[in-house]
Amino acid sequence: MPESATIVLTALVVGVGAGLGAVVFRRLISGMQSLAYDGLGGLLAGIAPFHLLIIPAVGGLIFGPLIYRFAREAKGHGVPEVMEAVALRGGRIRPRVAVIKSLASAICIGTGGSVGREGPIAQIGSALGSTIGQALHLSDERVRNLVACGAAGGIAATFNAPIAGALFALEVILGQFHAVYFGAVVISAVTADVVAHAFEGDLRAFIVPAYMLVSPWELVLYALMGALAAVAAVIFTRLLYLSEDVWDKLHFPEYFKPVLGGLLLGVVGILTFKIDGYPRAFGVGYDSIGHALFNRLTLQVTLALLLIKLLATIITLGSGGSGGVFAPALFMGAMLGNAFGQVANQLFPTITAPPGAYALVGMSAFFSGAAHAPITAILILFEMTGEYRIMLPLMLATVMSTLVSRVISRESIYTLKLSRRGVHLQQGHDIDVMQSVTVGEAMTTDIDVVTLNMPLEKLENKFARTHHHGFPVVDDAGELIGIVGIQDLERALAREPIAEKTVADIATIQDLQVAYPYEPMWKALRRLGARDVGRLPVVAQEESRQLVGIVRRSDIIRAYNHAIAQRAHHQLQVETLRLGQLDGVGFVHIDIPSQSPIIGQRVSEIDFPDECLIVSVRRGRKLHVAHGYTTIQDSDRVTVFARSNCLPAVRQRLTGELSGNLDEPKSQSG
């Protein structure tokens, strides 16, 4: 079959699967809401509104163990995990993620979790696309394409927005607009939308009044609101990850944290229940957004709901909930915009549209400020509402929000999660292997340090004894104040006697170059190269000078070898899965004993049957891809790809043993 036909066919299959997945997911949420609030809520009606404490906690009791037992990738809002898989793992996502994410997110949202549907369905669709790509043994590039197809299909089917779904996949998931991806992604998005229409009908997320621009002067107000939305979105992003840090530090079983989070969420729900008899902080919140669009909320209520939704969302996701950030961003944007519009109406009543117009524009501006995805934000609001008469203010505020948020923070709500793990996405390029290793993983923590008052004679002896070429200089509290190298000492020796001199006379104290434990190693390598130095002190964080380690060139080399081994191991696993499907062939692992006749020989020198091949050599904790020049050593574990009838000869040649038990070929390396 021609490659173009294969691309179209697989895109169609993924689109159908994503569309059906979105329908099933939506009905799962509806069923869980009915079970939780009609079923369990009916049983607890006698203690209302305190049943709002119990229902989210029960939900956490169910989905918490489900996530931590079967698929931890299902925790959180999902999109960063898909982006990481695309960037670092060739788009490969475990098939079980789709099932666990569906169940966990449906339970979380259905029992009141303050999260949205877009993150889960993007991850569910992506996992489906990845599973199909892996089952067909496609290349990394094709698997990435199908992951994007799945995400686009999921978004399109969930929000009846095929164009926005396609652009979300290209702008956010892949980070690039490329013709190779575009056609297949659009096919999947449209197919998924058609499937969803067949089951759900043409249901728009919001019905919006006919708003329009009242006066050209109003554009100034929309631009100002866009900047305000950017600040609010960045605050939301920072508080979300601060909440995750706080929950991570709690000495409490991980799978029970959602229970405690559910109880706290219940308290927030009771607060909103007191406002108008409805827990508006719970769930996706589209009903409340509708009230903001139709001007049914007072200024005090909109501001209260903005703060309460912020609190509810960071509690839900911080404690380990499962769901997206798109719906909360729309909710907070609508409340912020409505409040801004009410103030604008009071100040400039003759030149401003109703507050609902500002609520609509605020939804797009807030999401774009958080996600740094202006094209997706504009189009998804247009497709979700069908309202085009206010497109000019919508575009202006959204672009303004994106620009301001990028100035405040280079990372979006999606990429910040990855950068905190040391993964910095390079849009439009392959990720360097050093992205997968952080400074904290590679640095030396057993540090030799010196103080400012150390005599240079002692420093000279320390250099001679340790063979190091430099030492961090610290104060009594262990905080970094400088660095001294052997070149500094040599220059001092060449100038004058050093009998009365101390480290303070020669150390570099100003303009220090440092590294941080959470950074990827490539950043440390770049700093080493820029200054042509052989070491970098590592401090705990940017605001601190607490010394926690040191990175030397030898650490860089070790980290690079580790990253290469990780990639080689991944590539070997992929090839194993592909080749292991062939009849009569497979992989076998053989430990090389000390009496083996091939110790010291190169792979190219080993006399092997024609249908056998050494593919890797594991030496200690390092995995090496076998080349002709690779030398076999004692205690190596050799992985061989061979036909089953060749195995006795392989065993004899590698171990020197004439007979013995031999593992059967395996379909994957272990």
Q: What is the pLDDT of residue 357?
A: 92
Taking the C-alpha atoms of residue 487 and residue 493, their distance in angstroms, rounded to an integer, is 10
Do 417 and 76 contact (CB within 8 A), yes or no?
yes
Domain end marker among 172, 200, 228: 200
Give the count of beta carbons closer than 10 Å to the beta carbon of residue 573: 14
Could you say which DSSP state residue 37 is in? I
Q: What confidence score (pLDDT) does residue 562 get?
A: 62
Assess if residue 207 is contained within a domain. Answer: no
Question: CB neighbours of 8 closer than 8 A, spacing ≥ 6?
Answer: 183, 184, 187
Question: Which residue reads 């499937």 in tokens?
Answer: 195
Q: In terms of Cα–Cα distance, which of 224, 205, 215, 234 is closest to 337?
A: 224
- pLDDT tens profile 418-456: 877 666 665 434 445 556 677 887 788 888 888 888 888
Side-chain-side CA neighbours of 457 within 13 Å: the count stands at 4
The secondary structure of 70-123 as a DSSP string is: H-GGGSBTSHHHHHHHHHHSTT---THHHHHHHHHHHHHHHTT-S-BSHHHHHH
How much is the mean pLDDT over the chain?
82
Q: Is residue 213 part of a domain?
A: no
pLDDT score, position 220: 94
What pLDDT band is residue 180 in, cutting at 50, 70 and 90?
Answer: low
| Of 362, 114, 105, 379, the residue nearest 226 (C-alpha) | 362
What would the pLDDT profile of 39-72 be if each residue is shown by its tens digit? Answer: 887 777 677 778 888 899 999 999 989 988 888 8
Show the domain range for 245: 218-419
Is residue 664, in this structure, part of any structural domain at all?
Answer: no
Q: What is the pLDDT of residue 550?
A: 86
d(CA 431, CA 201): 41
pLDDT digits (tens, 9 = 90+) for 608-631: 776 678 888 887 767 777 777 788
- Whether 293 and 391 map to the same domain: the answer is yes
Tokens linked to 106: 């449906």
Q: Among positive and negative, which fits the CA dihedral 211, 212, 218, 219?
A: positive
Q: Are residues 168 and 64 in the same domain?
A: yes
What is the tally of structural domains in the chain?
4
CATH code of residue 523: 3.10.580.10
Query: For residue 610, what pLDDT is reported?
Result: 67
Q: Are residues 448 and 373 in the same domain?
A: no
Is the pLDDT assigned to residue 669 strictly greater than 60? no
Domain identity same for 154 and 288 = no
The CATH number covering residue 91 comes to 1.10.3080.10
Helix, strand, or coil (residue 203):
coil
Residue 424's pLDDT is what? 64
224 in the same domain as 194: no
Is the pLDDT at 381 greater than 90? The verdict is no
Measure the CA–CA gap between 155 and 380, rounded to whole angstroms: 9
Distances (CA, A) of 468 to 70, 459, 460, 624: 47, 11, 11, 30
* C-alpha to C-alpha distance for 26 and 299, rounded to whole angstroms: 32
Give me 423's structure tokens. 């993964």
d(CA 19, CA 156): 8
496 and 527 together in one domain: yes
Q: Is residue 563 included in any domain, yes or no?
A: no
Beta strands in 287-343 (DSSP E): none
- Out of 393, 419, 445, a domain closes at 419
Contact 379, 169 (CB under 8 A): no
Same domain, 439 and 414: no
Q: Give yes or no: residues 283 and 178 share one domain.
A: no
Alpha carbons within 13 angstroms on the beta-carbon side of residue 189 total 26
For the chain, the straight-line distance linking the first and the last C-alpha, in angstroms and rounded, comes to 34
Q: At what angle do helices 96-110 and 51-70 cross, to 10 degrees?
A: 170
CB 163 within 8 A of CB 170: no
**181 shares its domain with 294:** no
**Residue 242 lies inside a defined structural domain of this protein:** yes
pLDDT higher than 90, residue 12:
yes
Q: What distance lies between CA 159 and its chain's CA centroid? A: 23
pLDDT recorded at residue 416:
86
669 found inside a domain: no
The DSSP-derived string for 533-554 is -SEEEEESSTT--BEEEEEEHH
The predicted structure's pLDDT at residue 566: 59
Place of tokens 């409805």: 278
Separation CA 118–CA 104 (nearest Å): 14
Residue type, 453: N
Same structural domain, 193 and 223: no
Residues 170 and 249 in one domain: no
242 with 296, same domain: the answer is yes
Q: Is residue 334 part of a domain?
A: yes
Q: Is residue 667 in a domain? A: no
User: Minimal CA–CA distance to 268: which of 478, 425, 525, 53?
Assistant: 53
Q: CA 660, CA 595: separation in Å to the nearest integer?
A: 15
